[in-house]
Structure formats: structure tokens, C-alpha cells
Amino acid sequence: MVDIAKAIEPRSDQQNYDDYIAGPRTVTVEAVDQDKEGRASIHLIEYPGRPFKPSKTNLRLIAQAWGTEAVQWNGRRMTLAGDPTVRFGGQQVGGIRVIALSHIEKAFTANLTTTRGKRAPYKVDVLATEQPPPIPAFTTVDDYRTYFQERVKDGAGPDELDRIQQAAAAVTTTAQNEDN
């Protein structure tokens, strides 16, 4: 089976509606920063160099769920989806919507501004915190490196990736001790 996901990715320096045409994706927050105008960029582990730059509506949803201290968002996960009904400048252009978040107790609906004087409900579901699979016992660092790369591609969170790196370091230390 051939996966064409890479072939249809747009060439861009940020996440776009076109990235989500094939369906929703669950991503992990690596870091959050702001530009000179105060616009937030949410850097994603799964897409290095292509941050999610949320609309104010999405940013308000996230802040309502996770708080306004963005450093606390690191390692948390969200599911993003393309929404063809998103309007910009009076035209329907499509955009990205936050549809689920980890680290919330229950789903919620926020009534947020859509255009001047108009509000609409936005529902956010609970994104279950998944338990990562156990790390296999490999005998070489190369095996761990390959496994690490596979888990990154599959969307592993930062805690799991740290554990894989620690396991690889233990193999390196054991091999060095055996050589002495």
C-alpha cells in the first residue's frame, strides 16, 4: 500500500488547511512563542519548522482549556481538522479547527465571536491520554535510533521519546563497560 500523505503536503512554513484535507491529525505541542505583533506560533513535534499559527478563535479555545501560560502546554496533545466553512475577508477559504484536547476533564462548548457582533458555539472533545507502548529491549544503539524515528513518525510524545533515548544511553553505557 502506498501512502501519498507526503506527496500532498503543501510547501509552506506553517500548518495550513490543505494539510488536513485527508482528515484530522493529532499533534504534540513542543513549544509556543509569539512574533512582534503578538501572534502565537505553536511548534509541533510532528512537524518541525511548520508551526500551527492558530486563529484567535482557536487560541481562545486552547486558552480556555489549558490556561494562558503557554509554557504549560508543552507536551500536551491536540487534534486539528480542516474546516472548509472557515471564512476570511468575507470569503469561505477553509481553515484549521481545534476539535479535541488532552489534559481536560470533559468536553466543552465555547460560545466565541465569529464576526463582529456574531457568536457561534465551538465544541472541543476530550483527547484521551494514550499510554505509550513498552520500549523493546534492543542490543544496539542503531536499533534504538530506528525505533525512535518510527515513534516520532507515529506521533510519540516527548516523555516517550525521552525514555527511548534513556534506554539507548543505557545500552551504550553497558557496551562501554563490557569493553573495559
Which tops the pLDDT comparison, 18 or 178? 18
pLDDT in tens, 70-106: 999 999 999 999 999 888 888 888 899 999 999 999 9
- What is the average per-residue pLDDT within 121-135? 82
Burial class (CB in 10 A: 0-12, 13-18, 19+), 30: middle
Distance between CA atoms of residues 28 and 44, nearest Å: 6
Burial class for 47, CB neighbours closer than 10 Å (0-12, 13-18, 19+): middle
Exposed, middle or buried, 167 (CB in 10 Å: 0-12/13-18/19+)?
A: middle
Confidence of residue 174 (pLDDT cuts 50, 70, 90): low
Phi, psi (deg, nearest 5) at residue 92:
-80, 110
| Residue 52 vs residue 148, higher pLDDT | 52
Q: What's the pLDDT at 70?
A: 92
pLDDT in tens, 6-23: 666 666 789 999 888 888
Which SS3 state, helix, strand or coil, does residue 73 take? Answer: helix
Inter-residue contact 122 to 109 (CB < 8 Å): yes
Q: What percent of the chain has pLDDT over 70?
A: 87
Specify whether the backbone of 67 is left (phi greater than 0), alpha (psi in -120 to 50) or beta. left
Q: How far apart are CA 32 and CA 40, in angstroms?
A: 7
This prediction has a pTM of: 0.67
**CA–CA dist 32, 130 (Å, integer):** 22
